[in-house]
Amino acid sequence: MKNKNGSTLMIVMLVFTLFALLATGLSILFFMNLKVRINSIDERALMMELSDDVYRYLNEKALEAGNEEFDDYLVEVSIVDDTYKIVFQHSKNEKIKAEIIVKYQDEIYEIISWGNG
């Protein structure tokens, strides 16, 4: 597999090196894609947890204008006409945020609008 100058061996080594670099690049892309997907799943899970906590907050608390802490959230309640604007902000992750407009009638709340993040 070798001629006088050893060029065949050099070509084989070059092909092997290129193959190793290609495999390394594909592995890096695969793991980066995996990390992005895991972060996306984590963010969706936190948003689902946020919605559960918002409903729990609405059921447990009497709404008053002002700022307060509820579990891991900073809650800002303001009154606009006969509706309440509630801003839920996760204290550790600024991406996890919800802005809700709620109307109360006879101790029953109606969510008029819900905006995320």
- Residue 21: pLDDT over 90: yes
Higher pLDDT, 9 or 48: 48
Q: Starting at the earlier edge strand, list the strands of the sheet with 97-105.
A: 66-70, 73-80, 83-90, 97-105, 108-116
As given in the structure block, the two tokens for residue 43 are 């963010």
Instruction: For residue 6, count CB atoms less than 10 angstroms from its CB and return exposed for 0-12, middle for 13-18, buried for 19 or more.
Output: exposed
Domain boundaries, the chain: 7-116
CB 12 within 8 A of CB 2: no
How confident is the prediction for the chain on average, in pLDDT? Answer: 86
Q: What is the pLDDT of residue 109?
A: 83
What integer is the mean pLDDT of 33-38?
Answer: 96
Q: What is the pLDDT of residue 62?
A: 78
Collect all residues with Cβ–Cβ distance below 8 Å to 87 and sequence separation of at least 6: 75, 76, 97, 98, 99, 100
What integer is the mean pLDDT of 45-73?
Answer: 85
Q: What is the pLDDT of residue 6?
A: 67
Q: What is the pLDDT of residue 114?
A: 87
Model confidence at 110, pLDDT cuts 50, 70, 90, reads: confident
What integer is the mean pLDDT of 102-107?
Answer: 81
